Structure 1
Amino acid sequence: MTPQSLPRNLEAWVKYLDAVRLPIAEENHAQVLRALGDSRRSLRDIADLLQGTPAMALIVLREANSHGSQLGEPAESLEVALTRLGLKRAETLLQRLPPLPRKDIPLALRQLQLISQHATQQANGLFAARLARLWQEIHWGSLLFLAPLWPLAAAQPHLLETWEQRVMAKGEPASKVERDLFGTALLPLCLALAERWRLPDWIIQGYRLLANDHRLLVKALHIARDNEHPLQQQHRLDDDPPLRRWLTQPANTILLANGLALSAHQAWDSPHLLRWQRLAGLYLQLPLGDVQQAIHQQAAQSARQHAEQGLWHPAEALLWPWSTRRLSPRPTTAPTPKSDALGAWRKQCALLLQEPTPFANVPQLTACAGAALEACGLKRIMLLLADRQHSRLQAQFIAGLPRQALGLSLDPAQSQVLRRLLAEPGQLRLTPDNSAQFSAMLPGNLKSLFSGDQLLLRSLANNGRVVMLLVADQSGAPFADVTLQAFTKTAQCIERALGAFARRSR
């Protein structure tokens, strides 16, 4: 789906996300299928195994609760869902899922599922022991509460990453950002998907509260702020029986657990997390200090069970200075190159313009071009060579990127942006205003190297034919004006160097 055809209203998003097939890590997929085929495994064993792969748990529950089910009440736990489906049908269902190497699953999806697992640990540790009879509802409800966002993270991960940077790091209003990115608010979208999939009632109740009726939640938060006077809190609850009845509903446990996990994902001292901690204290009738200690303990326990290389877990931040934020606002503008750097840039450009060409081969030319680009202030740079048929782009030079990026090979046929840039010389500058429009048309492996919403792409030609693609940014920060001007001049110098190199005597 191209950016022009991305949904822009609630109904279209529901239809689009409902059709997304969630990817499953190969090793988890094989492990679960082996368990389903093992007659010695109990339903509890299989359910425990599935919770390590949240996407598979969601798919099983969705199928069991599909509208074709003969039973009116949706299954609230995975064991009930497996009983309804039968192990053979569950095995057939899961065999149709696309197993992928873990590294090929979008990072945004893996990170979101880790947050769900952290929320499950918080729910189990804080609430399940107190409500032992309802532990399955608490466990599975907390794990699947964020499930309506998983297809979005799988299909359009850059949109969630942009949302996180703008809302969590820059502090922009969520309503404005969501209108810009999606054309609709996320909470009603989550509610619509939860209802369509017939997720457990507690999940639907939570989204209805957040999306449609804040009154009870706001009242409870006001009372929870006075956490140093528990007797006064109790009196205020006694004076409002509807609020007291709502607050003590077990369904609120999964909302509290996910609120805690999501808020902790950014920082431990954020006002958002403090609100959820106070509300949890009001629900549990515990002092704030005791609640915070328990939450930290559950976070550490979750990290021991669920931490994964390359993903962020909030327990890591318990070792940091308390005011540290995982996401920090990016600088307004990248720093302007200093005079000595600009002097080095001029020398490299002079070398590129020299005739006859001083370069004996392409690597020498691209190394000089890369040095010029670095000198003008660019932090992450990649130069890719196009083959004669424009069917492949191969990385030739990198700077500021992982070493393995030098092996990057792109198929332009899979990207509308790359095809346009190869068709004729041109330039595309990504900014926060157009990132959502164009980012989806860039190859995922290229976007993962240049994270952020500030990027320059320029095709370089020799005699009118594109032979090279230049991709660069300033580590995601807005470009300095001097750097933009130097980038344009450097690209012109590289094109002249390519012409001189083509005319060299052999």
Structure 2
Amino acid sequence: MSIPSTLPRSLNAWLQHLDSIRLPIAEGSHLEIGRTLADSRRSMRDIAEVIQRSPALALLLMREANRDAASPAVSLEVALTRLGVARCEALLRKVPRVAEHEIPLQLRQLTLISQHAAQQASGLFSSRLARLWQEIHWCSLLFMAPLWPLACAYPELIQAWEQRVMIDGEPAERVERELLGVPVRDLCRALAEHWSLPEWIVQGYRLLGSDRRLLVKALHIARDDLHPLHQQQLLDQDPALRRWLTQPANTVLLANGIALAAHACWSDLHNLRWQRLTGLYLQLPLADIQQLVHQQAVRSAQLHSQPGLWHPAQALLWPSGTQHLCRPVVKQEVKTNLQAWREHCGQLLRQPSPFANVLQLTACARDALHASGVQRLALLVTDRERNRLLCQQSIGLGDQGTNLSLLVAQSQILRKLLEAPNQLRLNASNMARYSAFIPGPIKALFSGEDLLLQSLANRGRVVMLLVADMNGAPFSETQLQALGKTCQCVERALAQFAARARQ
């Protein structure tokens, strides 16, 4: 199966492409915000507090408020005042409204990290810089917003970056040039400037790029956290560095650095660097900073955690050094239950068909596939109009697998698989190419890079779709052969069942 997937490779091409992407909003949030805007008793601050639970809409309103403005709005409350309630309601009506699970997992995870960063910023810095708390909060929340359209349109690129950079340890800039053609920091800075986001956000990306020298010098001093007097002496010897370090805009980068590093591990070197730098900024011991950071992580989890998403607060009870993002353990090959497999396949091939209905047939097919070694699977059948695929049997997917329903028109891959008997086998080498075309509910249920989608047909007409994996591990050749033979038995059972029904 060949699906063309051409990506932009230059900064200007990415800028134009990502600028045109409309971020979706969950249906529940959309309704709540609509009711809030329609309530004349609500103040702009009340409205802003409700909207901030939907970062995608907050970004849209900030962009619209700053379009052609003399100076960027530094908070959502200012943006709402500029736009007015009527304009906000009109913009809300244009936003795509989808079910929560239809929003790409990588986009939801990235916005959760941004919400965690905003909580870290508020807890660490807002009390010391009370007059600037709105700027600190909103700039921290929207700092990674330039990545949200990328995560929405190409979640597989975010997944590939996470695997290669945060897990495999490859150099970030090299990976980014291979995947995107440009460094991520340059792309984020260009988008932030194009959207007229607050200057603190642009300054943060500038610091990661062209002004990196100051950051490196500060990190070097922060490393000596056991000798605060010596740190102060080094800062006194470099007045330019001392003036830069105390800038309030640095709080945005510090909070996002902590949140992003904590996503992988609380005690690795990357997290320790950001914690030490924050201690140098606040002039507090590392132990105090770590206590504050952990408290804010717990508070963020209480406010923002969502089913199916990872929040670093979950790892605070784990042993020190445990990583959330780590190399997958190579699993031993799953052995086929040969006796059970033969029994189920024999039942499928029996003539005349022993099944009273399709449900009995698919239950036997499910058991045969599981006995062949498949760890997780969903068997979906088409409705009469062939517009929708409905899960009839599943293993290893829980209630979400039982309720799985897919609209064929929304996926080019599903349309091709239903046109004629076919197979799509995904693995590490081609996942980035095809992932954008895989329906979101399937990606949410089947984590990992190795996945198989197989059409099952009756006399050349596809009537069923198999989605299967090995709990994220690669398929072996033996497993693929057993699975292929099982699918042949299922198709023969379908033909015999249909023939008996016609008699």
**Same fold judged by TM-score > 0.5?**
yes
Aligned to 1:18: 19
Aligned-partner SS, 1:265: helix
Aligned to 1:324: 322
For normalisation by structure 2, the TM-score amounts to 0.91
Aligned to 2:490: 494
**Aligned residue identity for 1:228:** L
Aligned to 2:334: 337
Is 2:275–2:290's contact at 8 Å kept on the other side of the alignment?
yes
Distance apart, 1:317 and its partner CA: 1.9
Is 1:117–1:306's contact at 8 Å kept on the other side of the alignment?
yes
The counterpart of 1:400, out of the listed 374, 396, 401, is: 396
Aligned to 1:376: 372
Is 1:9–1:183's contact at 8 Å kept on the other side of the alignment?
yes
Is 1:148–1:194's contact at 8 Å kept on the other side of the alignment?
yes
Is 2:381–2:389's contact at 8 Å kept on the other side of the alignment?
yes
Distance apart, 1:182 and its partner CA: 3.3
The counterpart of 1:117, out of the listed 115, 128, 133, is: 115
1:416 counterpart = 2:436: no
Is 1:337–1:482's contact at 8 Å kept on the other side of the alignment?
no
**Aligned residue identity for 1:17:** L
Is 1:3–1:438's contact at 8 Å kept on the other side of the alignment?
no
Q: For 1:314 and 1:376, how far apart are their aligned partners in 2?
A: 37
Aligned-partner SS, 2:209: helix
The counterpart of 1:435, out of the listed 423, 431, 438, is: 431
Q: For 1:500 and 1:99, how far apart are their aligned partners in 2?
A: 44
Is 1:162–1:452's contact at 8 Å kept on the other side of the alignment?
no
Distance apart, 1:430 and its partner CA: 0.5
Distance apart, 1:198 and its partner CA: 0.6
5+ residue gaps, structure 2 = none
Is 1:3–1:441's contact at 8 Å kept on the other side of the alignment?
no
Compute the RMSD of aligned alpha carbons. Answer: 2.5
Aligned-partner SS, 1:184: coil
Q: For 1:369 and 1:349, how far apart are their aligned partners in 2?
A: 8
Aligned to 1:308: 306
Aligned to 1:200: 198
Task: Trace 1:70-81 onto structure 2 (pairs within 5 A).
Answer: 71=70, 73-81=71-79
1:417/1:290 Cα in 2 relative to 1: closer, same or farther (>3 Å)? Answer: same
Aligned-partner SS, 2:23: coil
Aligned-partner SS, 2:5: helix
**Aligned residue identity for 1:336:** E
**Aligned residue identity for 1:422:** L
Deviations 1:451-500 (A, max 9, x none): 22211112123333333222110111112232122122222222233333
Deviations 1:146-193 (A, max 9, x none): 111222233333432343344334444434543454343322221111
Is 2:219–2:277's contact at 8 Å kept on the other side of the alignment?
yes
1:446 counterpart = 2:447: no
The counterpart of 1:283, out of the listed 257, 273, 281, is: 281
Aligned-partner SS, 1:21: coil
Aligned to 1:469: 465
5+ residue gaps, structure 1 = none
Distance apart, 1:207 and its partner CA: 0.9
1:470/1:172 Cα in 2 relative to 1: closer, same or farther (>3 Å)? Answer: farther
Distance apart, 1:253 and its partner CA: 0.6
Runs of 4+ aligned residues of structure 1 deviating over 6 Å after TM superposition are none
Is 1:337–1:376's contact at 8 Å kept on the other side of the alignment?
no
User: Which range is displaced more, 195-204 or 448-457?
Assistant: 448-457
Q: For 1:56 and 1:463, how far apart are their aligned partners in 2?
A: 49
Aligned to 2:86: 88
Aligned to 2:143: 145
**Aligned residue identity for 1:416:** Q
Aligned-partner SS, 2:264: coil
**Aligned residue identity for 1:47:** A
1:60/1:416 Cα in 2 relative to 1: closer, same or farther (>3 Å)? Answer: closer
Aligned-partner SS, 1:457: strand
Deviations 1:364-412 (A, max 9, x none): 3322222222122211112222457644433222111123423433333
For normalisation by structure 1, the TM-score amounts to 0.90
Task: Trace 1:450-461 onto structure 2 (pairs within 5 A).
Answer: 450-461=446-457
Identity %: 61
**Aligned residue identity for 1:474:** M
Is 2:101–2:440's contact at 8 Å kept on the other side of the alignment?
no
Q: For 1:98 and 1:390, how far apart are their aligned partners in 2?
A: 25
